[in-house]
Structure 1
Amino acid sequence: MSDEPRLILVVDDSATQLAQMRMLLEKAGYRTLTADDGEQALSVAREHNPDLVVTDLEMPGMSGLDLVMMLNMESPQLPVVLTTSRGSEELAVEALQAGAASYVPKRNLAKDLADTIERTISVADSERQRLSFAKYIRTVAIELELNNDDTLLSQILARLEAPLVELGIVTEATRMHIGIALDEALRNAMIHGNLEVPSSLRDESCGQAYIDLIQARLKDEQYASRRVNVSLTANPEQAVFVITDQGPGFDVNSLPDPTDPENWEAVSGRGLLLIRSFMDEVQHNDAGNQITMVKLRVDPDAVDDDDDDDDCCDSSDDD
């Protein structure tokens, strides 16, 4: 892989927003290209092969949702990160389900954009490095015991995601979603579960209070000695992930509904929304220290059949 800085395509119809995001990303060491609408973005992506696309949702002409769908068809391994504003919540959920990898509320760009892109690219890299052995593997069982070092997550994700590709559970278009969901769930278990660092601290002192408490807890044996247990059981029909931390848990009934527009920009709801968008079933235990996530097999032939049926219906209507 080249040592050249990663290339990010930034798409927004606001010149001010484009300038802000370009400045943030170049300061973080990325190269950038820009486009002010979806059609131009598609052309630039085809010509320059960026490593990641950041796009606004609501633009004249081709919307951000349309752009996500087109990129997902043409370059399913190209990750797309959304920038969202109040009022675009439902559209953003559609875009995540259509292939976008993550999102950042516009009010949090300065704090979260570069970090989200770094994490998303890391997940994408782990996806590209996996080998497929589908014709040999029929069932997989993995048990991991992890400390709270989130710098190892890219390696952990690669190990957990590989069986899903090998068994044919996920497609090129959906395998990155698994990595994003697992990344969020594992960080929750390590940081919020074992280290007991609340999400609310991210809004204090530009996030420095959040970082400082994590570092302090990692040096405190009471918290640092706790482990995260991960189990994966998979066959060609489904994968079941169970992630358990050793923290005190939380009141599951107090979880905000992340799909409610009122909670869209809440720091504590972002990870859960991504997990629920990308997994087929999600459950917490009563103690609040375990999450079970199920991903069912994606059948590309069934998707194609559905598309064919729609085309037939369209033809009949035209007649």
Structure 2
Amino acid sequence: MKPVILVVDDSRVDRRLVGGLLNQQTTFDVKFASDGNDALRRMSQSRIDAVVTDIVMPGKGGLQLVQEMRKHYSQTPVVLMTACGNEDISAEALTNGASSYVPKSQLGDRLSLTVARLVNRAMTDRCRSLSGKLMTTSVFHFEIGHDLFMIETVVNTIHRTMSSMQIGDPSDRIRACTALEEAISNAILHGNLEIGEMELAAARRSGGNLAVNRLIEARSRQPNLRDRRARLRAELHRDFARFSICDQGHGFDALSRAGHDLRDYFDAGKDRGLTLMHSLVDDIAFNESANEVTLAKVHA
């Protein structure tokens, strides 16, 4: 049975555009809703595995939809489609329960992969092992090279354990793992491979994922970078999860970002990883050189 993805947008043209991008993944069954009220009605009538929603719509908009889903459909991940001008609402929606976001300018490159990963985690969460209920503490240590494909494997291992232990609710687990995924990606790309945000954005604009992969491969062959590793320690308890991710790069000026509001990061997808990390966990802290970040998710 194919995962069912509900696309919510008041524009028929935009709905079809997003549906076409998702239909490139033949594993999806894409449905459509015209606003938040229509989406909730459809969710009450049939199974929906993930929601992709616009932010600003007549009637019930994206923020209100996220808030209602957190109450009644917390197991269903929500991906926001963000645009310049709706930064305030997007930041609030992430804080209130959305699982991730993709700038509208990057839908072609990011949307299908983002949705696929969230759907896989949600399905894993529903199939958790009963033996995990007996586990009180679990600690993982990983060393990760430059292969970005390994990030999903590592994060899925942690997510399965969180699910088995029933740490938080399904939405908590999915959001924490999304933040973790971004932290590891930042450690590899910006820390160990020293690829700047502007350089990465330029590669993405010029040739999409293919150009980004070529850039990663070129950096991975440099003698001073090729042996670097990102190190992850994941500490899981019944009432909290803590992740520490350390790279072997030179760090960055974390203090210069400390005064930024979440809204500052939404423009054209700027610092998307930091935005998600700040939005989806309860606490985030960098070491003095900012080449190690610790994320904490607390479950009351």
Counterpart of 2:157 in structure 1 is 159
Deviates more, 1:250-259 or 1:86-95: 250-259
SS in 1 for 2:134: coil
CA spacing shift, 1:220–1:126, aligned 2, 3 Å: farther
SS in 1 for 2:188: helix
SS in 2 for 1:224: coil
- How many Å apart are 1:136 and its aligned residue? 2.9
- How many Å apart are 1:16 and its aligned residue? 2.1
Counterpart of 1:176 in structure 2 is 174
Counterpart of 1:112 in structure 2 is 110
Larger radius of gyration: 1
Q: Which amino acid aligns with 2:159?
A: E
Give CA deviations for 1:118-166 in whole Å, capped at 9, x if unaligned: 3323433443444254653333332222222222233311332345445
Match status 1:11 vs 2:8:
yes
Q: TM-score, length-normalised on structure 1?
A: 0.82
Q: How many residues end up aligned between the 2 structures?
A: 295
CA spacing shift, 1:84–1:268, aligned 2, 3 Å: closer
- List gaps (5 residues or longer) in structure 1: 300-319
> Aligned partners of 2:206, 2:142: CA distance in 1, in Å?
35
Counterpart of 1:33 in structure 2 is 31
Match status 1:68 vs 2:66:
yes
- How many Å apart are 1:105 and its aligned residue? 1.8
Give CA deviations for 1:18-66 in whole Å, capped at 9, x if unaligned: 1221222223434321111122212223334232211112112222122
Counterpart of 1:103 in structure 2 is 101
Q: Is this contact kept in 2: 1:202–1:209, CA < 8 A?
A: no
> Aligned partners of 1:156, 1:291: CA distance in 2, in Å?
17
> Aligned partners of 1:249, 1:111: CA distance in 2, in Å?
27
> Aligned partners of 1:53, 1:26: CA distance in 2, in Å?
14
Which of 258, 261, 279 in structure 2 is aligned with 1:259? 261
- How many Å apart are 1:256 and its aligned residue? 7.2
- How many Å apart are 1:184 and its aligned residue? 0.6
> Aligned partners of 1:258, 1:132: CA distance in 2, in Å?
43
Q: Is this contact kept in 2: 1:251–1:288, CA < 8 A?
A: yes
- How many Å apart are 1:167 and its aligned residue? 5.0
Q: Is this contact kept in 1: 2:4–2:50, CA < 8 A?
A: yes
Q: Which amino acid aligns with 2:55?
A: L
> Aligned partners of 2:133, 2:30: CA distance in 1, in Å?
41
CA spacing shift, 1:194–1:160, aligned 2, 3 Å: same
CA spacing shift, 1:132–1:245, aligned 2, 3 Å: farther
Counterpart of 1:277 in structure 2 is 279
CA spacing shift, 1:169–1:153, aligned 2, 3 Å: same
Counterpart of 1:316 in structure 2 is none
CA spacing shift, 1:119–1:161, aligned 2, 3 Å: closer
Counterpart of 2:201 in structure 1 is 202
CA spacing shift, 1:148–1:61, aligned 2, 3 Å: same
Which of 291, 294, 297 in structure 1 is aligned with 2:293? 291
Q: Is this contact kept in 2: 1:14–1:36, CA < 8 A?
A: yes
Match status 1:21 vs 2:22:
no
> Aligned partners of 2:287, 2:130: CA distance in 1, in Å?
33
Q: Percent identity?
A: 34
Counterpart of 1:240 in structure 2 is 242
